[in-house]
Structure formats: structure tokens, C-alpha cells
């Protein structure tokens, strides 16, 4: 039988699975008699965790409303001694007015201890209070940004029956949230909601809201009738990629003077974009010659495109593409490849040592983790990176016209969007990678 979720959860956009979980817990608190008749143990605690800005507090308050129980909230807004008394008072009041809920918001901020010193008095107090109200109809709800700051004893079953991770929105959740924030905005016909969602896929709800609002501010300042793709991209550059307004404006003003110049940065970013689009069509959202540091660009990817079984290998190939493109065009690998290479070696090392992709004999799960094995592992990693680098150069050679067209367009516009790349792709026959 299907039960409609409590209306309190209507304020949460997307995250249907998490809303179902929260509604189920709220129902056990709201309709205790139903579960008592079933002779089941009632849940006593829930810990919602995830990075800042994903909506944990909003979800928690929706569950509190849906439960119908009195709630006693603790947030770190007092000196240590006073705050400890506040924690004890909250649990005491909840016990007196049971069934009730104690809400510990941002539990990992209750103390200033680092990951190596997690025995702060605040955490000891919380643990003691949870133990004291056990079997007394007090439910403990907590939100946490960094789980590693909490003592393991506080995270174990018995104190929190359920741990629920709130990830950044992707896929349908990202689309739903983008639609919500754009619902009353005037959009240019060229700005598609699916592009907005893909460009912000994998970023927090707070970032989605900020970018969309920032795009509206740019449009208003220009007295534009609608928010355009350019307004949105500029907002992304500012909020997500730390390309500040002055740098963006100066680059756009200088664009005409530099238009068409075939610099190493152009070739490097075009290489990343070309190989990613060949291997995973539609995976690139923005390619830019403007980065957070001078003389650096970036290529942004739709996180949803990285969910396939062979995604780690494709990530390696795409990461090598910038360096391979520069070598192919200039005859040498140039500079500025250290970040890409660090990432590539870490990824291939994981494939060799942890996942056994190239043979179980090279993994760290063998009994013999000797220096000899370590040297063999390093040799395998280096050989595989070299092999993949050659494959990337082959991919670029087979699709040289497509690659060069991206270089040409990027050198003129400085910033290309997913729509720009789709138009370029239509003009070329892409030779797929066989490997």
C-alpha cells in the first residue's frame, strides 16, 4: 500500500529516496501505536551527513515537522561551559516531555577538536546524554558536515541507528533543483534548463541557487530582458571556478586583439575537451581559457557522465589529453602538466594496487607487501600511463579535424559551452576509440 509523504517534505526539491527515509522515521514517531502493535524496536537516532550546502538542516527540520513531536535544538552558539549545560538541559527536557526529539545541528562543530583529538567534553556529554535517555522515547537527530571529526563511539549503532548520507545533487535531482530556482526567472531561448543542470551537476544546492541568482544580477545590471547563456556562464566562472568579474571583463575586452591566437593553453584545453567528447559525447559543459590563476584554463565536465563501469580508465585518458595535444601540435610536452600527471598516476595506481585491473598479483591485498612488490607495482603503473598516453595521441590523430576545430573556436571565443561543442561535432565524423 502506498502512503503519501507528509506535506512537510514538499519544501525539499528532489532527493526522493532521502525524503522516503525521513518520512518513514517521522511516521514511527507520529504513529507509535502502529509500530508498538507490531512489537518492533523503534529507531532512536538518525545522523544526516554530507558536505555543507546540500540541505541537511532543511531536511532535518522537515522531518521534525512531520514527526509532530516537541523538539529541543542544540547549536554551538555559546561558550563551552554554557553550551554543555545547554546540551544536558535539552536532553532533560526531552525526557520530561517524551516522546520528543533532540536536534543536534552541525554536531561536528560542537567542539574545535581535530580528527586526532575527538574526545572533547562536548562529545562525551552528548554520548552520556544519549545513553541516559535510551529506552525513554527520546529520538536524537543530528546533522554533520565532517564525520571524521566525531568519535567512532558516537557514530556506532545504538547511539544512531541510521546514518544517511546527503550527496550533492546529480541527475534528476539537479534538474529538479535547477527548475525550482529558475521557475520565476526570465530566460533567453538559448539557455536550456538541462544545460544549467549539467553544468552544475555535482555542486551543492547552495551553489546552484547562488549561480542562478548571480546570473540574474548580471542580466539586471546590463538591463537585459532575459538571462542569457553568457550571463549564466559568467556566473559559473565567478561562483564555481573563482574567475572574478574584473578578470573576466578584461579578458573579454582583450578577446578581439588575441582572437585566433593558437596558444599552448588553447591547445591544452582543446585536447581535454576533444578527447572527452570523443569518449563520452556530451560530457563537457564548459571549456575556458580563463582560470582561477593567470595563464591557466579549465575544462568542466558533467559529473553524470562519469558513472559508467569503465569511467576510471576514461578519466585517465581525458586527463592525459591536454599534454598529448600540446606535444602533438608543438613537438614537446611543455609545462603546466603537473596537476594532470599527479591525478593520472593516482588513478592508475588505484587501478593497479586496489582494483586488480591488470592482475591480482599486483594488488596490495597480497600477504607480501615487500619493497620488491612496491617496485614492481610502480613499474606497472609507469608502463600503463605511457601506454595510455600513446592511446590518447592516437585518438587525437584520428580525429584531428574535430580537435583543430575546437582549437579554432576556443581561440576566438575564449569560452565554449556544451552547445558550442555540439555544433562543432555536427560538422565532423568522429572516429570512435577502440581499446
Of 1.20.58.760, 3.30.70.2190, 3.40.710.10, 3.40.50.300, the CATH number of 264-426 is 1.20.58.760
pLDDT for 360 beyond 60: no
Q: Where are the alpha helices (DSSP H) in 183-282?
A: 193-199, 205-221, 229-239, 245-258, 264-279
How buried is residue 366: exposed, middle or buried, by Cβ count under 10 Å (0-12/13-18/19+)?
Answer: exposed
The CATH number of the domain covering residues in 171-240: 1.10.8.60
Compute the Cα dihedral for 104, 105, 110, 113 and give only its sign: positive
Number of other CB atoms surrounding residue 197 within 10 Å: 25
pLDDT at 361: 56
Give the model confidence (pLDDT) of 134-160 as tens digits.
889 999 999 999 998 888 888 877 788
pLDDT at 202: 87
Domain coordinates in residue numbering, the chain? 7-165, 171-240, 264-426
Residue 429 — very low, low, confident or very high, per pLDDT cuts 50/70/90? Answer: very high
* Partners of residue 163 on adjacent β-strands: 47
pLDDT for 222 beyond 60: yes
**Cis amide prior to 99 (ω within 30 degrees):** yes
> 357 versus 273: which is more confidently predicted?
273
Mean pLDDT of 101-117: 81
**Dihedral Cα 28, 34, 37, 40, nearest 10 deg:** -20
Mean pLDDT of 417-435: 90
pLDDT at 341: 92
> 362 versus 380: which is more confidently predicted?
380
What is the overall mean pLDDT for the chain? 87
* Partners of residue 187 on adjacent β-strands: 227
* C-alpha distance from residue 196 to each of 168, 227, 292, 308 (Å): 15, 12, 21, 22
pLDDT at 307: 62
Q: Are 160 and 47 in contact (CB under 8 A)?
A: yes
* Partners of residue 48 on adjacent β-strands: 143, 164
Number of other CB atoms surrounding residue 404 within 10 Å: 17
**Closest-CA residue to 296 (of 250, 241, 255):** 241
pLDDT at 356: 64
pLDDT at 51: 93
Residue 304 — very low, low, confident or very high, per pLDDT cuts 50/70/90? Answer: confident
**Neighbouring residues of 49: CB distance < 8 A, sequence distance ≥ 6:** 56, 143, 144, 145, 147, 163, 164, 165, 166
pLDDT at 421: 96
pLDDT for 300 beyond 70: yes
pLDDT for 435 beyond 90: no
Measure the CA angle with vertex 388, ends 384 and 391; round to 5°.
Answer: 145
pLDDT for 334 beyond 90: no
Q: Where are the alpha helices (DSSP H) in 31-79?
A: 32-37, 56-67
pLDDT for 305 beyond 60: yes
> CA 255, CA 377: separation in Å to the nearest integer?
47
What predicted TM-score, i.e. pTM, was given to this entire model? 0.82
Residue 293 — very low, low, confident or very high, per pLDDT cuts 50/70/90? Answer: low
> 194 versus 115: which is more confidently predicted?
194
Of 3.30.460.80, 3.90.1150.10, 3.40.50.300, 3.50.50.60, the CATH number of 7-165 is 3.40.50.300
pLDDT for 309 beyond 80: no
Give the model confidence (pLDDT) of 384-413 as tens digits.
999 999 999 999 999 999 999 999 999 988
Amino acid at each position: 500500500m502506498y502512503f503519501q509523504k507528509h506535506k512537510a517534505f514538499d519544501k525539499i526539491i528532489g532527493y526522493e529516496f532521502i525524503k522516503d527515509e525521513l518520512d518513514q522515521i517521522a511516521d514511527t514517531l507520529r504513529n507509535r501505536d502502529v509500530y508498538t502493535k507490531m512489537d518492533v524496536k523503534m529507531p532512536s537516532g538518525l545522523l544526516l551527513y554530507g558536505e555543507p550546502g546540500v540541505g541537511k538542516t532543511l531536511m532535518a527540520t522537515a522531518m521534525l515537522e512531520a514527526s509532530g513531536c516537541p523538539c529541543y535544538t542544540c547549536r554551538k552558539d555559546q561558550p563551552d561551559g554554557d553550551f554543555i549545560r545547554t546540551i544536558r538541559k535539552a536532553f532533560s527536557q526531552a525526557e520530561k516531555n517524551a516522546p520528543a526529539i533532540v536536534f543536534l545541528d552541525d554536531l561536528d562543530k560542537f567542539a574545535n577538536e581535530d580528527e586526532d583529538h575527538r574526545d572533547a567534553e562536548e562529545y562525551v556529554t552528548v554520548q552520556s546524554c544519549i545513553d541516559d535517555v535510551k529506552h525513554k522515547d527520546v529520538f536524537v537527530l543530528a546533522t554533520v558536515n565532517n564525520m571524521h571529526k566525531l568519535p567512532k563511539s558516537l557514530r556506532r549503532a545504538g547511539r544512531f541507528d541510521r546514518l544517511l548520507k546527503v550527496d550533492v545533487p546529480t541527475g534528476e535531482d539537479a534538474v529538479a533543483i535547477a527548475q525550482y530556482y529558475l521557475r520565476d526567472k526570465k530566460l533567453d531561448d538559448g539557455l536550456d534548463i538541462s544545460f544549467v543542470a549539467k553544468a552544475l551537476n555535482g555542486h551543492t544546492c547552495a551553489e546552484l541557487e547562488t549561480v542562478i541568482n548571480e546570473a540574474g544580477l548580471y542580466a539586471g545590471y546590463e538591463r537585459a530582458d532575459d538571462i542569457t547563456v553568457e550571463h549564466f556562464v559568467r556566473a559559473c566562472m565567478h561562483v564555481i571556478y573563482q574567475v572574478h568579474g574584473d578578470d573576466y571583463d578584461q579578458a573579454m575586452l582583450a578577446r578581439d586583439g588575441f582572437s585566433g591566437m593558437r596558444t599552448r593553453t588553447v591547445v591544452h584545453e582543446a585536447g581535454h575537451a576533444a578527447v572527452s567528447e570523443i569518449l563520452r559525447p556530451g560530457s563537457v559543459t564548459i571549456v575556458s581559457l580563463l582560470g582561477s590563476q593567470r595563464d591557466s584554463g579549465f575544462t568542466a565536465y558533467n559529473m553524470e557522465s562519469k558513472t559508467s563501469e569503465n569511467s576510471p580508465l576514461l578519466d585517465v585518458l581525458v586527463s592525459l589529453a591536454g599534454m598529448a595535444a600540446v606535444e602533438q601540435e608543438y613537438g614537446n610536452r611543455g609545462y603546466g602538466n603537473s596537476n594532470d600527471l599527479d591525478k593520472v598516476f593516482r588513478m592508475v595506481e588505484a587501478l593497479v594496487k586496489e582494483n586488480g585491473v591488470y592482475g591480482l598479483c599486483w594488488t596490495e591485498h597480497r600477504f607480501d607487501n615487500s619493497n620488491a612488490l612496491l617496485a614492481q607495482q610502480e613499474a606497472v603503473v609507469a608502463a600503463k600511463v605511457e601506454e595510455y598516453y600513446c592511446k590518447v595521441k592516437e585518438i587525437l590523430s584520428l580525429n584531428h579535424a574535430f580537435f583543430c576545430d575546437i582549437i579554432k573556436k576556443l581561440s576566438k571565443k575564449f569560452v565554449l559551452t556544451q552547445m558550442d561543442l555540439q555544433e562543432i561535432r555536427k560538422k565532423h565524423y568522429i572516429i570512435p576509440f577502440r581499446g
